[in-house]
Amino acid sequence: MRRMNRVLLAVSIAALAAGCGRDDSGEPIDGTIAITVSGETITPDVGAAIDDPDDATKALVILGTRDISCSTRINSRLAAGTYLTFAIDRTMGTQAGFISVIRVEGGSANLNGSPGEVIIDGIADRVTGSLTFDTTDDQVGPITATGTFDVRRCF
């Protein structure tokens, strides 16, 4: 868990330095994943499963509203948008882990995370599965993410 928090902290620090003016490109995803923040539903449309630089047995899945692709790295800057991140074992099945929602807006980033459940259904050219995540932010209220995901495998 401590290593996972370092990974997510690195992503959020990169998000703090995010620049504007980037396009909305990225690796297209499929699925039904929806993130809800303060009653607003956000649907990620790009994402990738990339190497976890701290653990060769794991991958980091990043879903977002812009600029996530196989070239994304743990220290990549995040453009303004909403992102869902979690680490997975490179095996199929139910996995408990730390899931986070990162919101980048107006030159700053907000990170909310908590333990959640991820089910990996397939790992081939793409990583497929589903997840359930629920936390509460003192300022914005409930934050949830649920649904299925299908992202390009980049590891």
The correct CATH number of 2-153 out of 1.20.1440, 2.60.40, 2.40.128, 3.40.50 is: 2.40.128
Question: pLDDT tens, 37-94?
Answer: 999 999 999 999 999 999 999 999 999 999 999 999 988 888 999 999 999 999 999 9
> What's residue 17's pLDDT?
37
Backbone angles phi, psi at 139, to 5 degrees: -100, -35
Domain segments of the chain as ranges: 2-153
CA-to-CA distance for 22 and 41, rounded, in angstroms? 23
> What's residue 25's pLDDT?
81
In this prediction, residues 119-146 reach a mean pLDDT of: 96
Q: Which residue has the tokens 């919101």?
A: 103
- Amino acid at residue number 83: Y
- Cβ proximity of 154 and 48 under 8 Å: yes
65: left (phi over 0), alpha (psi -120 to 50) or beta: alpha
Residue 13 has pLDDT above 60, yes or no: no
Residue 143 has pLDDT above 70, yes or no: yes
Which sign does the torsion angle of CA 51, 53, 55, 60 carry? negative
Mean pLDDT computed over every residue of the chain: 87
DSSP secondary structure letter of residue 3: H
- Cβ proximity of 90 and 58 under 8 Å: yes
Q: Which residue has the higher pLDDT, 34 or 74?
A: 34
In this prediction, residues 92-120 reach a mean pLDDT of: 95
The proportion of the chain whose per-residue pLDDT surpasses 70, expressed as a percent, equals 85
> What's residue 4's pLDDT?
47
Q: Which residue has the tokens 């997840």?
A: 131
CA-to-CA distance for 128 and 126, rounded, in angstroms? 6
